[in-house]
Structure 1
Amino acid sequence: MTGLLPAPGVPGLLNGSIPPGVYRLPPTESVPLAVSLAAESDWRAAVLRLKGVTGKAAFLDQSASDLEFPAWFGKNWDALADCLMDLSWWRNEGKARGYLLLTEDWDPFSKAAPKDARTAEAILTEAVDYWADREAPLAVLLG
């Protein structure tokens, strides 16, 4: 299970005092606040809205829609990993200091589809690890 984002929270993640990772968003911080802080810090942010998502197919459809994946996205776990390892679809607006992926309603999704949530979290973790040593890291906050 992913741990809670430690203090100082989102600002620490964005300024580098907390290493990029997959963290749970603290209840004292909100997705809109994190998106706003990311923009102020020259990080690109995207929100994956999981309300009503109860399985793999819906998760992948929602990911494609909310994250605006390219047309080549194949709507399977391998294609999700491919999109998260190749952020060219997200980098088309110029340089960013980092990339922040936030989810909303992770807990209901995780309860409805625990196996799919574990698979998705593993893919997110692999992607974060891949980008960790690069110029613009990827971080994920599960909210």
Structure 2
Amino acid sequence: MRIDDPVVLDLTGVTDKAGLMDRCAAVLALPDWFGRNWDALADCLTDLPEPVTLVVTGWQEYAGTRPREWRTAQDVFATAVDQRPTHLTVLVALGEAFGGSDEAPAASLG
């Protein structure tokens, strides 16, 4: 798998769903109608205008403070990947930074 020009979703400092939705909206340039809820995020992810490799970094604090929401977010990302496997790739960086090198391994969702 090649990662050309990934979009980095840095969740550093995000501690709730609203923060996650705001970051997704900004980083992915989601449309104005994006309702900042799980269903709207799922719709937007499967409706992206061009193929995207999304690398999620800095997620540990969010996962620790809102583990149920983090599981839901992972499910939404994985379902979108399953629905559009040639259009969306989501990687969760296991390290603290992502620079496309061996220093920050990533795990794929879906």
The TM tier, using the shorter chain, reads 0.7 to 0.9
* Residue 138 (structure 1) shift: 1.5
Q: Is the 8 A contact 1:47 1:67 kept in 2?
A: no
Give CA deviations for 1:64-117 in whole Å, capped at 9, x if unaligned. Answer: 1121111111111111000011112xx2xxxxxx42001111222211210110
What is the CA RMSD across the aligned residues, in angstroms? Answer: 1.3
Q: TM-score, normalised by structure 1?
A: 0.61
- 1:100 paired with 2:53, answer yes
* Distance across 2 between alignment mates of 1:67 and 1:84: 9
Identity of aligned residues (%): 41
Q: Tell me what 2:27 maps to.
A: 66
Secondary structure of the 2:31 match is coil
Task: Answer 1 or 2: which has greater helix percent.
Answer: 1
- 1:110 paired with 2:71, answer no
How many residues end up aligned between the 2 structures? 93
* Residue 59 (structure 1) shift: 0.6
Give CA deviations for 1:19-42 in whole Å, capped at 9, x if unaligned. Answer: xxxxxxxxxxxxxxxxxx513xxx
Amino acid at match of 1:105: G
For structure 2, list consecutive stretches of 5 or more residues without a partner in the other structure: 94-110
Q: TM-score, normalised by structure 2?
A: 0.77
Which consecutive aligned stretches of 4+ in structure 1 deviate over 4 angstroms post-superposition?
A: none
* Distance across 1 between alignment mates of 2:4 and 2:60: 23
* Residue 137 (structure 1) shift: 3.3
Asked which structure has the greater RCO (Cα within 8 Å, sep 6+), the reply is: 1
Q: Tell me what 1:137 maps to.
A: 87
- 1:48 paired with 2:1, answer no
Secondary structure of the 2:81 match is helix
